[in-house]
A = this chain, B = another copy of it.
């Protein structure tokens, strides 16, 4: 089966298991975003159209299903994690000066940068408000901590932009903050709100973290390998932003000094040719394979964390998500 078909099959099973719950989480997301001022409501509702894979709510609800049963609190928190993710997207778009996201005009393009910054702030703060409506200070603390780590990861990434000596450790620490932390929290909350015991909660938290790492490394690979028509994303955007990712970090460590100097020159002055200039180097080294294997190892380690769960449709989906994380093309 092609990776795309496998992805479609997985999605069908997700729909079968939790489609009603996704609808409820989605309704909660939309219903919450209302204001006394019609303009504020318009802006917030616009941002809810940035619908992607909904990885985080799917993780939370599937973990909940695999841990027992899904309850109303799961729906609320599935809306919360999607709201936080949307807040980061809205702010990413203003920073990147992006005009469209998922075939919808960005908030900054449709209105202006001020509206975009404040819309992201509203989503962040509303996610916290919604969380606190559950009356559980522990969950408030976890949400506060995770959102903080996302900002920390993104800030570090900005600082390391253009640093051609970035090492793997720092790279992993950055993607752990900006991507894996919210995935870890999502699957943890699925288990925690099903009143599971500590080891299972921790296992699911680690599962989400490792899955998030696999997803991010694969995302970084798609940026330099993917078929632009298929993904709908421009390729080589990480080069343009001088963002070093795992295949390039590996590449830099695999070439000898004279070539390394040439590579530094190419990466140091990014333009529309960078992507094609880098390709021959990638073909001659194990850089791509190395990153693919690292993503696969994260995914395999994620899968191992599920051993404590009884067999269920939810567990199978969580397992299959680990393969999907590495095999998808977009």
A149 nearest CB across to chain B (Å): 9
Chain B residues, Cβ within 8 Å of A113 = 95
Are A131 and B144 CB-contacts (below 8 A) given A124-B124, A125-B124?
yes
In the assembled complex, the Cα of A129 lies from the Cα of B156 at a distance in Å of: 19
In the assembled complex, the Cα of A114 lies from the Cα of B162 at a distance in Å of: 15
Among listed A31-39, A188-196, A219-227, A278-286, interface-contacting one: A31-39
Judged by a CB distance under 8 angstroms, whether A159 is at the interface is yes
Chain B residues, Cβ within 8 Å of A35 = 152, 155-156
Within 8 A of B (CB), among A102-140: 112-115, 117-122, 124-126, 128-137, 140
Judged by a CB distance under 8 angstroms, whether A74 is at the interface is no
Number of copies: 2
A152 and B94 form a contact (CB under 8 A): no
Judged by a CB distance under 8 angstroms, whether A145 is at the interface is yes
0/1 string, A7-45, CB within 8 A of B gives 1: 000000000000000000000000000011101100100
B151 and A121 form a contact (CB under 8 A): yes
B137 and A40 form a contact (CB under 8 A): no
A130 nearest CB across to chain B (Å): 8
Judged by a CB distance under 8 angstroms, whether A154 is at the interface is yes
The 5 closest A-B pairs by CB, nearest first: A129-B144, A132-B141, A125-B147, A39-B159, A132-B140
